[in-house]
Structure 1
Amino acid sequence: MRILFTGGSGKAGRHVAPYLAGLGHQVTNADLVPLGHPAVTDLRVDLTDAGETWSALAGLATMDELDLPEKPSYDAVVHFAAVPRILLAPDTTTYATNVLSTYHVLEAATRLGVRKVVFASSETTYGICFAQGERRPDYVPVDEEHPTVPEDSYAMSKVAGEVTARSFQARSGLDVYGLRINNVIEPHEYAELFPAYLADPALRRRNLFAYIDVRDLGRMVERCLAVDGLGYEVFNVANADLSVAVTAQEVRERFYEGVEQRREMGRDETFYAVDKARELLGWTPEHSWREVLSAG
């Protein structure tokens, strides 16, 4: 596939974009800073500018395309570009940047006839991660039907992005899949970060004691690109197990007393339910911090 990947220089993108290129896709990284990967083409694009966004999607990807009889079109857009959390920019900037860029990407993609858009939403949409004080979920495990009522600018921008994506899908009929991505973990971060999480599980309560290995995130995007015909869908994206050494029962007893439990859960099962991605996309996460660290 010929793919425009926005935000390919970010924490997740710098792994996922090359992964897709390694599968044989032609990947153009639309970002403000270059990725510099030999298998990925870099294109400097300000996605908050509607004209730049449209031009990037309508334009050439490589010099080699000049030798084709006519310019090819993009088959898919993977939209990861964003201010990635609160406290990196003023709240107004975070919200405006993320909402505008998502609108521009979706408008250009749908009007130019791109048949598949995969966009990054967030775990924060459920209103727990960046809440002032403590927030607990309405029920566990948290699935895609859980209310999305956040208080912070970043999560608000992601909810707005989902509404925008659903609207563009409704008027275009294209496939638009949103990924509610949990805390992204690179392989080297298991040894760096997780010993503290194993020592103090409370450090993970804002992430619902979940995480997503960036390698499994790449596979999730690949499955979204491969599976057609779902229309508009959103998916939780997390690894299968907890990011802490205590059991799911111990987490419930310590942190979620009185919170409704809607089904039985496995001993180490994530509270960030990924059943929908398994069922509709055939995606199963493969990696775990347990490959690197002992739970004992």
Structure 2
Amino acid sequence: MRIFFTGGSGKAGHHVAPYLASQGHQVTNADLTPLGHPGVTDLRVDLTDAGQVYSAMAGTPTMADLDDPDPGASGGSAYDAVVHFAAIPAILVAPDAATFATNVLAHYNVLEAATRLGVRKVVFASSETTYGICFARGERKPLYVPVDEEHPVVPEDSYAMSKVAGEVVSRSFHARTGADVYGLRINNVIEPHEYAEKFPAFLADPSLRRRNVFAYIDVRDLGRATLRALQTDGLGFEVFNIANADTSVAVSTQEIIDTFYDGVEVRRPVSGHETLYSIDKARDLLGYVPEHSWRDVLEDPRGAA
């Protein structure tokens, strides 16, 4: 595929965009900051400017395509798919109003350009924060566990609000055009080097992971989830929780429930270190199978398998 990838220079994007390129896809990184990866074409684009987004998406993907006698001759997009990861990535990075306005406008511009130009597949980064737990003021417990995509989205913060708004925008563009638009509700993104840096504290004090429902997503598995979303057609508009299969702490999942979720409904049995951020839907509909775990890198202090 020729993929228009926004935010390829961010924490997740600078792993995922090169991964897609390594799988044989032609990837253009639309970002204000260049990625500088030899397998990815950088294109400086302000996504809050609708004209720039439309022009960039309608343009020639790479210099190599100048030799193509008929690129984009149909008058549509030069791209087969759009992956939209760009955003102000959290609260406290910019003023709340700027976070909301920037993220929602950029999302709208990308979806409008893609669908008007005839792109039939858009995969976008939504967030675990949509469930209202991560950036809540004070502790918020889920209404039930495992948390699946049917759990209400009840955000209190500007970032999560922008992600919920992005999902609404995406559903609307699917309704208008029939394009496949898939949202990935991405859990806490972990790069490989962060296991040694961050996880010893999590293993010593599981309470540090309450905001993330004790879950995480290895950025390499996020790349695989994104690829599976690009390869899966015909689902219309859908959202998917994306996490690793296990928890980010040493205690068992049942111990998490007993210690931190007293009174919270448990909707199905859990075992071992199974994640409480359910990835069943992504497994079933996308064929997503995560491969990585912090347990491959660090010794479990409890000696558990």
TM-score, normalised via structure 2 length: 0.96
Residue correspondence of structure 1 range 30-45 to structure 2 within 5 A: 30-45=30-45
Q: 2:119 aligns with which of 94, 114, 121?
A: 114
Between the aligned partners of 1:193 and 1:232, the Cα distance in structure 2 is 35
CA distance, structure 2, for counterparts of residue 227 and residue 249 of structure 1: 34
What secondary structure does 1:133 align onto? Answer: coil
Which of 237, 253, 259 is the aligned partner of 1:254?
259
* Equivalent residue, structure 2, for 1:213: 218
Number of aligned residues: 296
Q: What is the 5 A alignment of 1:166-181? A: 166-181=171-186
- Pick from 188, 200, 207: which aligns with 1:183? 188
- The superposition leaves residues 87-122 of structure 1 with CA deviations (integer Å, 9 ceiling, x where unpaired) of 000001100010000000000000000010000000
Question: What is the aligned partner in structure 2 of residue 101 from structure 1?
Answer: 106
Q: Secondary structure in 1 aligned to 2:126?
A: strand
4+ runs deviating over 2 angstroms: none
Rounded to whole Å, the distance in 1 between the matches of 2:224 and 2:214 is 21
Q: CA RMSD in A?
A: 0.6
Contact 2:61–2:79 at 8 Å: present in 1 too?
Answer: no
- 3-state DSSP class of the match of 2:29? strand
SS in 2 for 1:240: coil
**TM-score (normalised: structure 1):** 0.99
Residue 118 of structure 2: SS of its match in structure 1? coil
Residue type of the alignment partner of 2:6: T
Which residue number corresponds to residue 153 of structure 1? 158
Percent of aligned positions that are identical:
75
Aligned-partner residue type, residue 9 of structure 1? S
2:296 is matched with 291
Shift of 1:71: 2.0
Letter in 2 for 1:193: K
Q: Does 1:272 align with 2:277?
A: yes
Pair 1:165 & 2:170 matched: yes
Unaligned ranges ≥5, structure 2 = 73-77
Name 2:57's counterpart in structure 1.
57
Q: Give the conservation status (yes or no) of the 8 Å contact 2:18–2:37.
A: yes
Cα deviation, residue 294, structure 1: 1.2
The Cα of 1:70 is off from its aligned counterpart by 2.1
Q: Deviations over 1:226-271 (max 9, x none)?
A: 1100000000000000000001111111110000000001110111
> Which of 71, 75, 87 is 1:82 aligned to?
87
Write out per-residue CA displacement over residues 4-51 of structure 1, whole angstroms, 9 at most, x where no aligned residue.
Answer: 000000000000000000011000000000000000000000000000
How far is the alpha carbon of 1:295 from its aligned partner? 1.2
Of 201, 207, 211, the match for 1:202: 207
Report the Cα distance in structure 2 between the residues aligned to 1:63 and 1:279, rounded to whole angstroms. 39
CA distance in 2, matches of 1:3, 1:67: 19
1:200-240 deviations in whole A, cap 9, x for unaligned?
Answer: 00000000000000000000000001110000000000000
Shift of 1:272: 0.2
Q: Distance in 2 between matches of 1:153 and 1:185?
A: 23
User: How far did residue 279 of structure 1 move?
Assistant: 0.4
> Comparing 18-27 with 62-71, which one deviates more in the overlay?
62-71
